[in-house]
Structure formats: structure tokens, C-alpha cells
Amino acid sequence: MALFDKLLGKNKKKELKAKCPITKENIEHGFGYMLTTAQIVSSRKFWDMVMTEPETLSYTVSHFKNQQSGTQMRSLIFEKHSSVDKAWMISDSCINLFDVDKAEARADARRWWESEGLYTPSEAGKAEEKMDSSIFKALKEYAVLEAGRSRVAAAL
């Protein structure tokens, strides 16, 4: 019976896969970087990129034209990203957005792969719960009120 199950694909272990939530590219087994949400939201480069992506650019332009709806949407975008509870598997193409210890982030990713996706860094969790409140507030102010200003200055 075990032979038939094997031939029919039953009892087949699901292959562990990872996809960068920023670039949407697949990350090959054994590669990537694992970052916590606090590390992600601490990056001004990340926020400048997020707030000027094609999907969010209109909100950023509206915000800098003093339209409340744009500011509200940017606040929701910040909340969406900062409230991610699990660690992020980041691709090689965007790790330079973050000022982190790359060797440690790579080691955490390897631990994740080796544990079949069960490993979680101790500091994983929602940024607001893991960060000093004054630092979190300053990051939120930057992300919501300032991120992307230099990139959209010509459109204003």
C-alpha cells in the first residue's frame, strides 16, 4: 500500500517555499534573509519605496497636497506593514533597504529553512509591541508624514 501511496503522491511532504513580500520574487531554498517587523519598519529607505510604489503613489501625492484622504491611506499602509506578526523572508535584491546585520539575518533564514519553516527569531512580532514606543512613534511619523517627499517633489 505504501508503494501505491508513493506512486499516487499521497503522504508527500509539502515543499517549503518562500516569497519576498516586498519584491514578490521566489526565494530559493536555503537563501534569503529573515528580518523582524521592527527591523522592516525601522528603514526609511523601505518607507520611501513603499510610499512611492505605483499602488501607493496617488496617496502620497494627495498627502503632500494636504488632502486628508491621502494621509489616512498612508497611515493605513503603515499599520498594515507594522502589524505583521511573523518574521519576513527577504530576497537578496532588497536586503540593502535595511540597516541590519546581514550575516545574522542570513543565519536566521537558514535556521528557518532547516526547521522546515518552524524557526522564528525571538524578536518577531508586531513592531509596536517589540519596539520602544517613542522610536515606534517617530518611525510612524516619518512613514506617514514624510516618506517619499523627495521622490514626488516634481509632481507637486
Q: Which domain holds residue 63?
A: 16-155
Residue 13 confidence (pLDDT): 63
**How far apart, in whole angstroms, are the C-alpha atoms of residue 100 and residue 40?**
9
Answer whether residue 11 is part of any domain: no
Return the DSSP state at 33.
E
DSSP letters, 36-64, are -HHHHHT-HHHHHHHTTSTTTHHHHHHHH
Answer whether residue 66 is part of any domain: yes
Residues 89, 109: contact at Cβ < 8 Å?
yes
Number of domains in the chain: 1
Residue 153 confidence (pLDDT): 79
Flag residues of the chain having pLDDT under 70. 1-13, 155-156
Q: Which helix (H) or strand (E) holds 88?
A: strand 88-90
Which of 98, 77, 79, 83 has the alpha carbon at shortest distance from 34? 98
pLDDT tens for residues 85-109? 999 999 999 999 999 999 999 999 9
